[in-house]
Amino acid sequence: MMGQAVDTRSLPVMPFGPFTLRPFAGDQLMLVRVEAPAGAKTPAHAHPHEQMCLVISGRLRFRIGDEERVLGPFEAIHIPSGMEHEAEALEAVVFYDIFHPVREDYLERLAASDECA
């Protein structure tokens, strides 16, 4: 059985504060295209999902635990399950988040926003 191919720029939008998320889920893995303007921030949070982030354009500052890193194009970071983290767009940014397992909360939010449209 063949998987599914998509143009991530055309996936349904899930607004998330100043961030525009476009989730794409498999059975056990989720890819999320994220776009954000300069200054967009996530609050400090943790979740049970293992996460990786790959910046495509712009710059993104991460705090993971007590460490801070700035990522630019084609740089990636790993966030272990349960680790507190936050991010800030230092300039307009496009990046991809990868989650394992799938973020069911994102799928539920996307379904709810589709129902309201």
For residue 93, give the nearest of 76, 69, 71 by alpha carbon.
71
Q: Is residue 52 part of a domain?
A: yes
CATH number, domain of 27, equals 2.60.120.10
Residues 5-36 pLDDT 10s: 999 999 999 989 999 999 999 999 999 999 99
Beta-bridge partners for 51: 79, 99
Q: Is residue 41 part of a domain?
A: yes
Q: Is residue 30 part of a domain?
A: yes
Residues 71-106 pLDDT 10s: 999 999 999 999 999 999 999 999 999 999 999 999
Q: Can you tell me the distance from the alpha carbon of 99 to that of 114, in angstroms, rounded to the nearest whole number?
A: 22
pLDDT at 115: 56
pLDDT at 79: 97
Q: Is residue 102 part of a domain?
A: yes
Determine the structural domain holding residue 71 and report its residue range.
Answer: 12-116
Give the pTM.
0.91
Q: Is residue 69 part of a domain?
A: yes
